[in-house]
Amino acid sequence: MADDDDLMTEEEQEAWYVERAERKLAHLNTLDQETKDTAMTCVRRVREALQHVSDPELDQSVVDLGFVSAVNVIGDTAAVDFRLPTFWCSANFAWIMAEDMRLALSALPWLRRADIPATTGEETFERAQRGEAIMSRIQVDPQQAFKELAEFNRKMLKGSELLQKTKGDDVQIATTPKREVFRQDKTVLYRYEPLTKRSVETPMLVVFGLVGRYTFIDLQEDRSLVRNLLGQGLDVYVVDWGTPTRGDRWLSLEDYIEGYLNECVEFICRSNNIDAITLLGICEGGTFCVAYSALKPERVRNLILTITPIDFHPDTEDAPLHVGLIHRWTRSMTPEDIDLLIEANGNLPGDLMSFLFSMMAPVNNLTKYNVGLFDVMDDEAKLMNFLRMEKWLADRPHHAGEAARQWLKDLYQANRLIKGEFELSGRRVDLKNVGMPVLNVYAQDDHIVPPKSAEALKDLVGTRDYTALPLPGGHIGVFVSGKSQGILGKGIADWLQKR
């Protein structure tokens, strides 16, 4: 043992600790700038990933809402200080958003662990006892709790009454007046009745894909791209591909693009005594329109694309897992797998595509009816909005078999369109032939057609009149969200009127 004389006095101990702290601080200050920059870059990457996580009720980014108060990155671990306002269902929402945040951060290849603590209930108390850094415990005001419970019961009663009296026929979509003007097999061409004096002479044909219905562009009166376009003085047609059955199993992309789509374009040109029209393509329908414009540029005066896949390999290592899920799913199969899928079913089942789309946002689909529906069930207008969207989502037609085989193998797997190798009826689809004015509209938070997929068009087409219009929102939100109603339709009309 050491002699008492060897022990430090309290003053000496304090001086020793101060000196040790100063040496440690000096060492930290000598860290090279590159290390500091790397740490800052990691924090920024984490915040960028969290920017795509939304509050399930407010549909706004958790970062923009101020729920992420701090982010720290040490090595391969990120610690997120996640704080919520203490409202009635905050525990429910906290769990939902924390899971979405973990999913978003799991896509960062260098990150091995994300510490996003639970925020409510017994787990909060236990973790606080262990000294972990988490948000403060929620304080419950008994009077406020009883008040909210009474409101909860009132809301449930009112919602139950509204749901009981609402019948299937009460939920109407695609109600803007239109008339059938042309039909070939199951394909029907409609022309919408004008709502105001025409301001653009060239008629427009709206082309949706085969994986859904065009009706979502006319979901309801106050959320209708069709009504917005008609209100701007445009002459609008739309093509309805019908519902494929096993008898349509051998319909190919050539049949749809060079056959049905071409016949619709020719009919509009004959009826209006013109040589060319404006095409507005949506999603897969946009890819149809690009191919058609490359093969028959003399029939297309203006080309407008919305949420349209061009580069079918846009998913990157740093993208969240749910972004570009269809691309990953398709490439996980062999070409023989796709052949077997089509041969077994005849067509690509609509139910399968619905399931695949739902897996892109699994938490949202799990909570849609016990959280989302509850939020609106006592408000008749909001409830009808909810039911109209559900009606459209439930109406998922099959995708004609041979066309689906080409779509998945030639485009999603082989990415032949941007490589200049995509062919229809033996003719190469050369995007340099797209020389007409092009407006490319894409959604900045689209997880089905990521922005990179749509943006690829710019460097591939031959036109000098190219305009990009990035809009906030997701794949469907660009068309049906309240904030998009005054942007998309007017933006398209203004662009056309200048040409």
Instruction: Please tell me the distance from the alpha carbon of residue 252 to that of residue 405, in angstroms, as a whole number.
Output: 9
* DSSP label of 409: I
40, amino acid identity: M
Residue 360 · residue 141 · CB < 8 Å: no
Angle at 368 between CA 393 and CA 448, to 5 degrees: 50
Looking at 274-315, list the stretches that DSSP marks H as alpha helix, in order from N- to C-terminal side. Answer: 284-295
Tell how far CA 7 is from the center of its chain. Answer: 68
Looking at 106-171, list the stretches that DSSP marks H as alpha helix, in order from N- to C-terminal side. Answer: 121-129, 142-165
| Catalytic annotation present for 264 | no
Tokens of 97: 């958003």
Bridge-based pairing of strands 438-443 and 300-306 is parallel
On the CB side of 122, CA atoms within 13 Å amount to: 0
Angle at 303 between CA 490 and CA 480, to 5 degrees: 40
Of 42, 264, 283, 289, the active-site residue reads: 283
Q: Which of 263, 272, 212, 207 is closest to 238 using CA atoms?
A: 207
Burial of 244 (0-12, 13-18, 19+ CB in 10 A): buried
Q: Which of 216, 239, 227 is closest to 177 using CA atoms?
A: 227
Q: Residue 206: which H helix or E strand, with range?
A: strand 204-207
Burial of 212 (0-12, 13-18, 19+ CB in 10 A): buried
**What torsion, rounded to 10 degrees, do the Cα atoms 311, 315, 320, 325 define?**
80
Residue 417 · residue 284 · CB < 8 Å: no
Instruction: Please tell me the distance from the alpha carbon of residue 46 to that of residue 73, in angstroms, as a whole number.
Output: 9
Residue 337 · residue 348 · CB < 8 Å: no
On the CB side of 448, CA atoms within 13 Å amount to: 22
Long-range contacts of 99-106 (CB under 8 A, 24+ apart): 99/363, 100/53, 100/54, 100/363, 101/50, 101/53, 101/62, 103/320, 103/321, 103/322, 103/363, 104/49, 104/50, 104/52, 104/53, 104/320, 105/46, 105/49, 105/50, 105/78, 106/320, 106/321
Residue 308 · residue 452 · CB < 8 Å: no
- Catalytic positions are 283
